[in-house]
Amino acid sequence: MSNLAASPYINFQGRAREAMEFYQTALGGTLELSTFTEEGAPKEAGPDDAIMHSVLAVDGLIIMGSDGMPAYPPTVGDNIAIALSGSDHELLSKAFDLLSEGGTVKQALKTESWGDSFGYFVDKFGINWMVNINKTEN
């Protein structure tokens, strides 16, 4: 079993901390805010750090977000993606290949600094997808 999950992932264009803290105030739950070290590894975000990744977890609801990537500035309506994640490498690699067919791959699946395989694309219907395959511990 891969614990397959899909969640909204929102590019807040530099306002991730403000937005995610607002959602936490309204919904409750636990909020994790991460940034990058100078070496590119993830770490807990301090009060003045840009947000590389955030997760608000509330009773099974997961909302994820980021300050975004300057190389890929979103346009209105293009600032949200479906984040697909799990640990079944074969299933998620196949899903990445099939879902991206006819679309535009923005980043091919590759191992990232946090140890997981990650890639993202826009499908042929204009929907943004992010695929994260969790590193399995041996």
Q: Per residue in 66-94, pLDDT tens?
A: 998 777 777 767 788 999 999 999 999 99
Mean pLDDT across 100-126: 93
The one-letter code for the residue type at 12 is F
Q: What is the pLDDT of residue 68?
A: 87
Q: Per residue in 37-75, pLDDT tens?
A: 888 788 999 999 999 999 999 988 899 999 987 777 777
Supply the pTM of this predicted model: 0.73
Where exactly are the structural domains of the chain? 5-133
Q: What is the pLDDT of residue 71?
A: 77
Model confidence band, residue 13 (pLDDT cutoffs 50, 70, 90): confident
- Distance from the Cα of residue 70 to its chain's centroid: 15
| Nearest alpha carbon to residue 54 among 87, 93, 12, 86 | 12
CATH code, residues 5-133: 3.10.180.10
